[in-house]
Amino acid sequence: MIKSLLIANRGEIACRVIKTAKRMGIRTIAVYSEADAGAKHVRLADEAHLLGPAAAADSYLRSGRILAIAKEAGAEAIHPGYGFLSENADFAQLTQDAGMIFVGPPPESIRAMGLKDRSKEIMAEAGVPIVPGFHGQNQDPTFLKRKAYEIGYPLLIKAVAGGGGKGMRKVSKALEFDDALEAAKREAKSSFNNDNVLLEKFVQNPRHIEIQVFGDSHGNVVHLFERDCSLQRRHQKVIEEAPAPGMTDAVRAAMGKAACDAAKAVGYQGAGTVEFIADGEGGLSEDGFFFMEMNTRLQVEHPVTEMITGQDLVEWQLRVASGEELPTKQEELSINGHAFEARIYAEDASTGFLPSIGRLIAMDLGQEGNGVRIDSGVDTGDEITPYYDPMIAKLIVHGGSRREALALITKQLQDAKIAGPVTNTAFLAALCGHKGFVQGHFNTGLIDENLSKLVPEAAVDQGVLAAGVVGLIENEQKQLAAKSQNDNSPWTATDGFQTGSARTVPFNFLLDGEEQVAQVVYTSDGLSLLMDTGKIVAPDSKCSYFHDGERVFVLKNGHQWIFEPRVFELQDEAAASSDGAIKVPMHGKVITVTVASGDSVEEGDILFSVEAMKMEHSVVAPYDGTVAQLAITAGEQVENGAVALILSKNPTVDA
């Protein structure tokens, strides 16, 4: 058995691997970037070593530096986690050449499955069903457009390298093909340094169902049943579950056999996932699923498989990598109950899911146990930075039935308390309550087709206002109390008491940066808020609020509001941006700038695009105008809120 293990990753997956390794008595070695010096995975490991600066290219993607640290630390093996170098065949080979164990499949298996076009050829030869399309080498745009016509619309353009929806575009008609091809190739080149694409027929009413497979060095291959990953947004998985709704024993057996055949075709060892697209029209069928790709690593959603099978897949990985046979035979595996996993991200659904960064003022997802599991790489006080994927945690639940498990994860999401960065918990809770999802009747288009209904409006009600104001006044009273702690004079008391009737005073504050005034009522029973209607209200019991210096973060139903004291003597006359300032919507890297100083633009024209945390966001002109000044260039890193350009509005012409 492996005695010492370096985890070449960060965040949640590094913590996950460390947890099992420690239980097995394996010494754990973490690596970290400068931005992760105080990260949770660094705190959990037996020892940790600095890789380099914050950017992944300068730290977690430095294979040479990682191998050097592994040698210095005496690591017997390297676990790559997922993402970063996990599917890098060259890194796997270098690890083996250095005399260490790569906890993953052989390099040749990674290479075989690494390019979607080649992998489909292998699968076709192995008798695994594939989606009709074009998987050849000819990348001439005119030729590809002709092939698209032969395949028929709608279809998908997909990058042959990588995954996660990068370099993928759905094309509904021929008029959209040229622009979609250009965008897919540009994104593929940026993400994988390979702009080759393939074309596939778009399966109507598609379900994304994947099979967890495992192989060892003794020729054994098993599958651990399926996961349904159909709830996606922009091809990124949002909520996964196991088993798949509507799955029959016959279809499960057919998909399981196809997945094992795929693994055997490339001599697979370790954990892998064979992903299928299934035609959900009329229900799942034995001849209605097609191979999409094989992920040659542990998947983000592996916990739902662990929950229904009772197996620890990281332990399986480490045992197989140590040369042992698979711990369990196929006939010994069975499904118990139902499991869901929701990916909690630092992102704002109300702004198109833009990433949100900052310090976690509070993080409470409830207690683990009784069917609840929380996999996270951060704790209260940790930072969500702009350098990496903005995942905060994976909330995983298990119940005796799908209905029971769904009720449990919905409650956990509704009760979640995360303050600081904006999160997607309200969106996830709304998704769990969607009728189609509840009934198990959904496909990969559910989120996009119902997005407006799944992003609940964050209405500031009276209870929220009361909670925020009470929190601010608590801060004020603490400050006054600190100044007068040795003074028993009634004139320095902080309870608002006065002789006679109740006292009502105005209280000025900022709510999400906007000026507000509340009428605060002090009585012998404490304080409350007087509304415009004349009604006196107290903080809503459904609200939670947290202090961060002078600020107060109020949470209710997954939404967050920030309250701050209004300091009149510090008014910033320059707070309002110059007329026509177009600002950067998030921290990130400028991908494209489509205008120059002096250019005329029309409302809706794309001005520039920014990429951060796996998301590319295009900023468009809010009105017709002329670019008066341009302050950004392609390739540079920019800060959230920075002025990108000044757009002079065209004068209105009277009729």
| Angle between the N-to-C axes of helices 302-309 and 313-321, in degrees from 0 to 180, rounded to the nearest 10 | 100
- Is residue 297 among the annotated active site residues? yes
- How many CB atoms sit inside 10 A of residue 489's CB? 7
Q: How far apart are CA 307 and CA 335, in angstroms?
A: 9
Distance CA 86, CA 110 (A): 9
C-alpha 12/C-alpha 569 separation (Å) is 44
Tokens of 589: 């890297």
What is the rounded CA–CA span in Å between residue 280 and residue 263? 25
Chain-centre distance for alpha carbon 177: 29
Other C-beta atoms within 10 Å of 61: how many? 17
What tokens does 537 get? 């209200």
Query: CA 377, 382, 383 angle in degrees (round to 5)?
Result: 100
Q: What counts of helices (H) and strands (E) characterise the chain?
A: 17, 38
* Alpha helices (runs of H) in 162-241, residue ranges in sequence order: 177-192
Q: Distance between CA 470 and CA 487 in Å, rounded? A: 24
Q: Quick check: 192 and 295 in contact, CB under 8 A?
A: no
549: phi then psi, degrees, rounded to nearest 5: 65, -125
Angle subtended by helix axes 141-151 and 177-192, to nearest 10? 120
Look at the block and give the residue holding tokens 């039935």.
401
Q: Are the C-beta atoms of 129 and 291 separated by less than 8 Å?
A: yes
Of residues 288, 328, 331, 277, the one with CA closest to residue 306: 328
d(CA 68, CA 251): 47
Q: What's at 319, amino acid-wise?
A: R
**How far apart (Å, rounded) are the C-alpha atoms in residues 316 and 75?**
19
Q: What is the DSSP letter of 58?
A: G
Pairing of strands 4-7, 77-79: parallel
CA distance 36 to 44: 13
Ordered DSSP codes for 20-47: HHHHTT-EEEEEEEGGGTT-HHHHHSSE
285 CB-near residues (< 8 Å, 6+ apart): 251, 279
Strand, helix or coil at 436? helix
Is 98 within 8 Å of 63 (Cβ atoms)? no
Using CB atoms within 10 A of its CB, is residue 231 exposed (0-12), middle (13-18) or buried (19+)?
buried
Rounded Cα gap, residues 334 and 228, in angstroms: 17
What is the chain's Cα-based Rg? 27
- Sign of the dihedral defined by the CA atoms of residues 354, 359, 361, 366, in that order: positive
Active-site choice (227, 297, 343, 551): 297
Catalytic residues: 297
